[in-house]
Amino acid sequence: MQKVCIVGGGLVGSLLSVLLSNRGFEVDVWERRPDMRTGAIQGGRSINLALSTRGFKALAVVGLEEEVKKVCIPMHGRMVHDEQGNTSFMRYGKEGQFINSVSRGGLNQLMLEKADKAGHVHLYFDERCDEINYPKGEAHFYNTVSGKSTVKQYDLIFGTDGAFSAARQSLMKTDRLNFEYSQSYLNHGYKELTMPPANGGGWRMEKECLHIWPRKSFMLIALPNLDGSFTCTLFLAFKGDVSFEHLHNDDEIKQFFTRYFPDALENIPGLVEEFKTNPTGSLATFRCYPWNYEGKGLLLGDAAHGIVPFYGQGMNAGFEDCTALNTLMDKYKNDWATIFPEFSKSRKPNTDAIGDLALRNFIEMRDLVADPDFVLKNKIDKKLAMLFPDKWIPLYTMVSFSEIPYSDALHTGKHHDHILQTIVSHEKHIADILDTPDCVKILEGYLG
């Protein structure tokens, strides 16, 4: 039985451990943080996750799909809030297509439980990865509670330890001349806030939506939780006229929310205290290549391709890594010298694409969803999909409700953007005739 080391017991690491255990491997999972099943989940940095088709496919592989669905809340579209508190609803896809709000911590706890019961998985917590010697198959850990150092030998080492990956750092040192790495930070950060349940229980807003307060260069979003609360996240520049640098005291914070998010303010009673207490997180895209060292070590998830959260695909892309690896294992059995390089090469274009799409969606969410031209193009986009389903699939549908490779979705989406802009520019009265037979003929003409 081959011995496997997984550095990082987060979402991707715990899923991978179950997958490999089910295939007969002896798996050690080493996690830097304490066991979240025995203590409070750290607040302030979680950003609720949006689970969609790619993620559920991976969960189905390890028999977790139905169990996870029980802790999800469906979100059928965006509820857009203007500065006067008026709302408008924008559906994500067709009837029955929705993304799912899920607590990062709650999901991680569930998956660690699954891993713990898998039979061949051993979980180690408070273990900081200090070094990985990929050529020797050695992993070095330091227990931050006991002060004990551990060095263990493994047949395979997987790095799933997130955007600031120690496994990636060691891989970079192993082959400096051939390893490409870049990190690109946004000048925006994020602050997490809590909208508690309504008095008497229940949700203060429509629960089956992702709520957005778009304000051109910044925005607030809110995702529902099972207990009736919403996890709210403010995305705002670090510096500038409207930025975090001007929000320090109680009055500045209250005035900012009163001006830009009045309907949210009245529903967040602990706003000021949370704003001052919760950390301000940074947002970055991380890219590297190759993700493997020969057939001995491999990076997955954010360790290989960290992205900003604006398409709700970070976790889904990491879970899809596990699905892709599982497929290659079916194809090549245990030929790791073939599997690891092929995985690295085949996944890289797709994760680069979703990284680009996530950056692009930030602009859409904070700015364009309130723009009349964008709203019209969105309606035409859905109309084309309804009228000509064999010829037209909206970009959001390709990304969130299908398994179409991200790179193909990005390419097709750019082509669609050109067509939609042409329609809006040339057909000045298209908004008035969208539901008429004349519109069908006009739109068909643009499909060629």
DSSP assignment of 63-132, as one string? T-HHHHHTT-EEE-EEEEE-TTS-EEEEE-SSTT--EEEE-HHHHHHHHHHHHHTSSSEEEE-SEEEEEE
346 vs 38: which has the higher pLDDT: 346
pLDDT value, residue 122: 97
Kindly state the DSSP code that residue 340 receives in the 8-state scheme: H
Confidence of residue 232 (pLDDT cuts 50, 70, 90): very high
Kindly state the DSSP code that residue 391 receives in the 8-state scheme: T
pLDDT value, residue 47: 66
190-215: pLDDT as tens digits = 999 999 999 988 999 999 999 999 99
pLDDT value, residue 40: 54
Mean pLDDT, the chain, whole residue set: 94
Confidence of residue 329 (pLDDT cuts 50, 70, 90): very high
Please state, in angstroms and rounded to a whole number, the distance separating the CA atoms of residues 332 and 253.
Answer: 57
pLDDT value, residue 176: 82
Arithmetic mean of pLDDT, 183-194? 96
Please state, in angstroms and rounded to a whole number, the distance separating the CA atoms of residues 326 and 198.
Answer: 44
Cis ω on the peptide bond leading into residue 279 (within 30° of 0)? no
The ranges assigned to domains in the chain are 3-42+104-183+285-361, 371-446
Bridge partners, residue 75, by sequence = 99
30-69: pLDDT as tens digits = 999 999 998 755 544 556 899 999 999 999 999 999 999 9
Share of residues in the chain with pLDDT > 70 (%): 98
Question: Per residue in 386-417, is it b (16+ CB within 10 Å) or e — as a string?
Answer: eeeeeebbbbbbbbbbbebbbbebbebbeebe
| Identity of the residue numbered 1 | M
Among the listed ranges 29-43, 170-184, 366-380, 416-430, which one has the minimum average pLDDT value?
Answer: 29-43
Confidence of residue 20 (pLDDT cuts 50, 70, 90): very high
Give the predicted TM-score (pTM) of the model.
0.94
Query: Collapsing DSSP states into helix, strand and coil, what is residue 261?
Result: coil
Confidence of residue 175 (pLDDT cuts 50, 70, 90): confident
Burial (0-12, 13-18, 19+ Cβ within 10 Å), 168: buried
Residue 38 CB neighbours (<10 A):
8
CATH topology of domain 3-42+104-183+285-361: FAD/NAD(P)-binding domain (3.50.50)
pLDDT value, residue 392: 97
Nearest Cα residue to 443 out of 373, 392, 407: 392
Please state, in angstroms and rounded to a whole number, the distance separating the CA atoms of residues 84 and 357.
Answer: 30
